[in-house]
Amino acid sequence: MNMREKSASDSLCIAHLSDPHLTSLHGARWWQLINKRWLGYRSWRRKRRDQHSSEVLDALLQDLRATCPEHVLITGDLTHIALPDEFRQARRWLDRLGSGETVSVIPGNHDAYVRTAWRKTWAHWLPYMESDPAWRSPGRGRKLFPSLRVRNGVALIGLSSAVPTAPLVANGRLGARQRERLVRILRQTGERGLFRLVFLHHPPRPQDENWRRRLTDGSALCEILCREGAELVLHGHGHINARTSIDCASGEIPVYGIPSASAVGHKPGHCAQYYVYRLLRAQGHWQVQVNVRGWQPEAGVFAPVGEHQLRVPAMPSTNC
Ligand SMILES: [Fe+2]
Ligand SMILES: [Fe+2]
């Protein structure tokens, strides 16, 4: 896909999509399913394979050619049960979407369904997950995160909340090491006056999910975001629209969650959507134009379903 050329000013057009669950399990072997994956496989056969459609994803790719974002963020759950072949399928789809330079991916709980070998799974997505060279640190798997990519005055800060969990549990966790690095990244990018966009799979606020599906260290994350500051937080996981905020002494941090990018809409409020954010630095603040585009089953295309604006205070720029 052709992405728009970068402009020199502090402005960026970003598309956010999530939870495409784009893989097929038709080739799965019985011996690959002798653990928690068996439950996930049964769930896929009974309902999930009808809830997520490649036709919707093809229409989404077509629509992205028209909206033409400079960068695409994908907040996890590309797979169903994290089989090695699913990671290869997802990589082929990512290649259709764009290069690792213009597409950023973080994993979701389904991408860490059970413990897997890095080489056979997440390694396929490395170009889409790793930080810009200047911010890269040694490590693989969850040690890649927080990832940091800087584009036109915007710091794209990716967190991984994907950890293997017990059957019927879909919790996420960042862990102390990732939270400590996040503090440093928020501080450094804030001092440079960048727009800090944090993206992760699970909703950051623990109260926004039940105990089996929440981010277990979400309270600690919210404390860090309040203390160090962030301009916008994006997530997936719930497969529904969720507009909330993290309330801090200094103001509110907007938090946006979105439906699955491939959902045909069997349940009310679950029809596929993606969001387009146009960020523009103005005098002392950032203007954020938010456009929501949704799947229209009758027409077989994505079309506008909502829009609004945010005004976000800008950190003073010191050296960017
Ligand atoms: Fe999901
Ligand atoms: Fe999820």
Which-ligand-closest: CA of 20? 1
Domain ranges of the chain: 11-26+33-313
Using a pLDDT cut of 90, give the percent of the chain over it: 87
Q: In this predicted model, what pLDDT tens digit does every residue of 17-37 receive, in sequence order?
A: 999 999 999 999 998 998 899
Q: How far is the CA of 163 from the centre of ligand 2 (A)?
A: 11
Q: In this predicted model, what pLDDT tens digit does every residue of 220-229 receive, in sequence order?
A: 999 999 999 9
Q: Is the pLDDT of residue 147 over 60?
A: yes
The per-residue pLDDT for 267 is 83
Q: How far is the CA of 44 from the centre of ligand 1 (A)?
A: 12
Which-ligand-closest: CA of 21? 1
Q: Name the token pair of 226.
A: 């309040």
The per-residue pLDDT for 34 is 82
Which-ligand-closest: CA of 239? 1
Cα 98–Cα 91–Cα 147 angle in degrees, nearest 5: 70
Q: Name the token pair of 157.
A: 């800060």
Q: How far is the CA of 116 from the centre of ligand 1 (A)?
A: 19
Q: What is the architecture of the domain spanning 11-26+33-313?
A: 4-Layer Sandwich (3.60)
Confidence of residue 4 (pLDDT cuts 50, 70, 90): very low
Q: Is the pLDDT of residue 184 over 60?
A: yes
Average pLDDT over residues 134-140: 83
Q: Is the pLDDT of residue 235 over 80?
A: yes
Q: How far is the CA of 313 from the centre of ligand 1 (A)?
A: 32
Residues near ion ligand 1 (CB < 5 Å) are 19, 77
Q: In this predicted model, what pLDDT tens digit does every residue of 73-98 receive, in sequence order?
A: 999 999 999 999 999 999 999 999 99
Confidence of residue 141 (pLDDT cuts 50, 70, 90): confident
- 45, 262, 303 from 235: Cα distances, Å: 26, 16, 22
Residues near ion ligand 2 (CB < 5 Å) are 77, 108-109, 237
Q: How far is the CA of 289 from the centre of ligand 1 (A)?
A: 26
CA distance 105 to 78: 9
